[in-house]
Amino acid sequence: MLRELTVKHCSFPLVAPFRIARGVKHAAEVVLVELEQGGATGRGESVPYARYGESVDSVMAQLESVRAEVAGGMGREELQARLPAGAARNALDSALWDLEARLTSVPVWAGLARPSPLPLTSAITIGIDTPQRMGEEAARLAGAGPANVLIKIKLDAHEPMARIRAVRRAAPNARMIVDPNESWNIDLLRDLQSELESAGVELVEQPLPADADEALLNFVPRVPVCADESCHVAADLPRLHGRYQAVNIKLDKTGGLTEAWRLLRSARAEGFRIMVGCMVCSSVGIAPALEVAREAEFIDLDGPLWLKDDYADGVHLRHGLLVPPQPGFWGA
């Protein structure tokens, strides 16, 4: 039976500008894939990322290039060989997982031999701003959720400790991870070790540029360092030993849930700690990532919380926990 492929560009305005070291975002620009077969429709979403040479147009072109193969029944394993890891493959891979679950009436979590989804503790991100405003946002988060809320602080090389200290003063019991998004160098990272440890930072995410992370070889950090831009797929793991203690699994980097599971298993076997993250996206993009997140020590899936209008039956925050989408939303 032929499948019908629909590819759409969707734009979701944000509740506030989201600023990181490499720029500011005002809307989530996503690519939505829908696969219709036998009266069932599977959905998948991805976020094209300029850092990896992607755009909405390039991702949509990649998807159009496999339209005939998709219509003819291309499966997830064939897709891994047909498209490279990245946003296009993620959207299609996620849609294939969803479609298969609907056609077989076997939820994705059951097919993976996992229990049904439960609420999870996710980091809530504070974008780059003045120390005062970042402290105010931290106080708001600590007041709205549990006192030990997990806060992720976006940073650049400008006054990082002033921002970290402001957040710590405002939320003294919060758990904290920081993400410089490749904006530091090894000297700054080395100089900040004692202060990062004293501030209670639990993880430093991708401090150095991915193409300069050889400087991490034989560096012994006081706070574990996590590979984000340096880790896309399982084949990347060998070069990460001696540089990183953790890896951040994002479906837009792995090219979908299929490779994300491979990366998860391989990283665990090789002794890396696991973080599962996301781009700023809707709940359609988060739903498949939740299947991997249950295996992670650090979860950062607050992307939909930045949207003015997410799907009504998507994820939401309740008492500081990220509640999965309603049954039937994705993969069920």
Percentage of the chain beyond pLDDT 70 is 100
Q: Among the options 8, 25, 152, 308, which is catalytic?
A: 152
What does the longest C-alpha to C-alpha distance in the chain come to?
A: 61
Q: Among the options 8, 25, 154, 250, which is catalytic?
A: 250
The encoded tokens of residue 184 equal: 């530091």
Catalytic residue status for 308: no
Residue 223 covered by a domain: yes
Domain match, 101 and 239 both: no
Residue 116 covered by a domain: no
Domain match, 150 and 208 both: yes
Residue 328 covered by a domain: no
Q: Considering Cα of 171, then 177, then 183, then 185, what sign does the dihedral take?
A: positive
* Last residue within a domain, chosen from 109, 144, 178: 109
Domain match, 90 and 49 both: yes
Residue numbering of the annotated binding site: 179, 205, 228
> CATH number for the domain including 70?
3.30.390.10
* pLDDT tens digits, 192-241: 999 999 999 999 999 999 999 999 998 999 999 999 999 999 999 999 99
User: Contact at 8 Å (CB) between 25 and 280?
Assistant: yes
* Last residue within a domain, chosen from 109, 140, 155: 109
**Confidence band of 319 (pLDDT split at 50, 70, 90):** confident
Helices (H), the chain: 56-65, 67-71, 76-82, 87-104, 108-111, 131-144, 160-170, 186-191, 193-198, 237-240, 251-254, 257-269, 283-293
Q: How far apart, in whole angstroms, are the C-alpha atoms of residue 159 and residue 146?
A: 28
Closest CA to 291 of 107, 41, 81: 107
DSSP 255-276: TSHHHHHHHHHHHHHTT-EEEE
Model confidence at 133: pLDDT above 70: yes
**Confidence band of 2 (pLDDT split at 50, 70, 90):** confident
Q: What is the tally of structural domains in the chain?
A: 2
Model confidence at 43: pLDDT above 70: yes
Pairing of strands 23-37, 4-20: antiparallel
> CATH number for the domain including 162?
3.20.20.120
* Last residue within a domain, chosen from 109, 139, 160: 109
Residue numbering of the annotated binding site for Mg(2+): 179, 205, 228
Domain match, 35 and 76 both: yes
Catalytic residue status for 25: no
Domain match, 279 and 142 both: yes
Residue 268 covered by a domain: yes
Contacts 24+ apart (CB under 8 A), 55-62: 56/9, 56/29, 56/31, 58/88, 59/31, 59/86, 59/87, 59/88, 59/91, 60/7, 60/9, 60/31, 60/88, 62/86, 62/88, 62/89
Model confidence at 145: pLDDT above 90: no
Pairing of strands 175-179, 201-205: parallel
Residue 98 covered by a domain: yes
Q: Does residue 249 sit in helix, strand or coil?
A: strand
Residue 332 covered by a domain: no
User: Contact at 8 Å (CB) between 31 and 84?
Assistant: no
* Residue-level pLDDT at 121: 95
Pairing of strands 316-318, 321-323: antiparallel
Domain match, 129 and 51 both: no
Instruction: Calculate the average pLDDT of the chain.
Output: 97
Residue 159: how many CA atoms within 13 Å on its side-chain side?
11
The encoded tokens of residue 35 equal: 């696969």
Q: Which domain holds residue 27?
A: 4-109
Closest CA to 160 of 139, 183, 136: 183
User: Contact at 8 Å (CB) between 313 and 326?
Assistant: yes
- State the average pLDDT over residues 140-147: 89
Domain match, 72 and 187 both: no
Cα 187 to the center of its chain, rounded Å: 28
Query: What's the predicted TM-score (pTM) here?
Result: 0.96
